[in-house]
Amino acid sequence: MGRMKVVLLVLGTILSISWEEEEGFMTLASANTIVTGTVFCDQCQDGERGFLDYGLSGAKVAVVCRGTDGKEMAYGEDETNWFGSYSVYFDGSPDLSGCYARVVGGPAGCGAAAGPAQGLTLLFRMFGMAMYVVEPLLSEPQVPAGFCPNAPSLPSPTPTPALPVPPPTPPLPLFEVSACPYGKWLMPQYQCYWRAVNPDTRVAIAFGPVAAGRYGVELTLWEALHGRGDLYRTLLREATASLLNSYNTLNFLYPTLSVFDLMNRALVGSPQDALTVALRFRMANSGAFGVETVGCNFTPCRS
């Protein structure tokens, strides 16, 4: 999701909350600050994110600030997940406007050198919470990859028998109508269909501050898909499946912004509102699009 969409969502959420609801939300929201971003392996060592660069798992990222004496100090650290994403959490709402994030360690294969540090950009601050985002960080291998223009020349290898080419990952059905229930999104053979977010993405980041007030800031989307036994956990489970469906195909019944809008209205409304929205999401995820029924067009992912 683009930064402007997130800002518009946050502003829309503020305008839709009454003073009574706002007061209740403020008692629910815990004071936390999040710094989030992604590290990429700069395979060609060209200093910028390219088409062939990939999210780097196992990179260590530090949020660095300057103390009163002007010296740098690591203020918080995190290690990237298998999608290359990281999230550094701080208690309270410290002012991080003068801080920056940088790679301080990388895995074998793409941890020989780190790209430049990047400053933090405040995305929102409200109700004792704040979120900063960081432009992509880079880490470099020891030498450029073989397909890069600046790759070192290598001696001609001894000819070897050609290996069969594995079948490609199935194309993402961006323009096909598809609807998949939450159970499908939990299956490991379909994880190549996750778009824009990943299993480790926090619910608070994916759905915004109203959801953070209800579910906290630690719950992940993967955990959300396991929700049951409680009205609001069921609502979150079905909303998460609808969010993933909206990212996966442009023709899902509820576009991404509609999923956000319905979810926020359900969370600030009555339990009956929450139940109604949960049922609407469940029907959409099962493919009940009015008079027609839509199937889930997943095929197993290929490595």
Same domain, 119 and 198: no
Q: Which residue has the higher pLDDT, 126 or 14?
A: 126
CATH number at residue 43: 2.60.40
Domain contains 145 = no
Give the pLDDT mean for 111-130. Answer: 85
What pLDDT does residue 155 have?
55
DSSP calls for 238-275: HHHHHHHHHHH-TTSSS-HHHHHHHHHHHHHS-HHHHH
Distance CA 123, CA 109 (A): 33
Phi and psi at residue 205, in whole multiples of 5°? -80, -40
Q: Tens digits of per-residue pLDDT, 11-51? A: 444 444 333 333 433 333 444 888 888 898 998 998 887 76
Same domain, 198 and 133: no
Domain contains 165 = no
Distance CA 60, CA 190 (A): 28
Same domain, 188 and 288: yes
From 140, 162, 195, give the residue that closes a domain: 140
Domain contains 169 = no
From 140, 171, 195, give the residue that closes a domain: 140
Q: Which residue has the higher pLDDT, 73 or 264?
A: 264
Beta bridge partners of 113: 140
Q: Structural domain tally of the chain?
A: 2
Domain contains 299 = no
Same domain, 199 and 284: yes
Q: Tens digits of per-residue pLDDT, 195-219? A: 888 999 999 989 988 899 899 989 9
3-class DSSP state of 174: coil
Domain contains 164 = no
Q: Which residue has the higher pLDDT, 176 or 133?
A: 133
What pLDDT does residue 87 have?
85
At 153, the pLDDT band (50, 70, 90 cuts) reads low
What pLDDT does residue 281 have?
92
Same domain, 187 and 120: no
Residue pair 139/53 in contact (Cβ under 8 Å)? The answer is: no
Bridge-based pairing state of the strands 137-140 and 288-289: unpaired
Domain contains 273 = yes
Distance CA 83, CA 194 (A): 11
Q: Is 56 a residue whose pLDDT tops 70?
A: yes
What pLDDT does residue 11 have?
44
Q: Is 303 a residue whose pLDDT tops 90?
A: no
Distance CA 141, CA 36 (A): 23
Residue 213 domain boundaries: 182-293
What pLDDT does residue 6 have?
42
Give the pLDDT mean for 241-249. Answer: 91
What pLDDT does residue 186 have?
94
Q: Is 162 a residue whose pLDDT tops 80?
A: no
What pLDDT does residue 16 have?
40
Q: Which position has the token pair 């955990």?
A: 223
Same domain, 203 and 258: yes
Same domain, 54 and 116: yes
Q: Which position has the token pair 């999230």?
A: 87
Same domain, 121 and 200: no
Same domain, 193 and 279: yes
Same domain, 187 and 241: yes
Domain contains 24 = no
Q: Which residue type, as a one-letter code, is found at position 132?
A: Y
What pLDDT does residue 15 have?
40
From 140, 164, 197, give the residue that closes a domain: 140
Domain contains 171 = no
Counts for the chain of helices (H) and strands (E), in that order: 9, 12
Q: Is 129 a residue whose pLDDT tops 50?
A: yes
Same domain, 195 and 263: yes
Burial class from Cβ neighbours inside 10 Å (0-12, 13-18, 19+) for residue 84 reads: buried
Q: Is 151 a residue whose pLDDT tops 80?
A: no
Q: Which residue has the higher pLDDT, 59 or 172?
A: 59
Q: Is 159 a residue whose pLDDT tops 80?
A: no
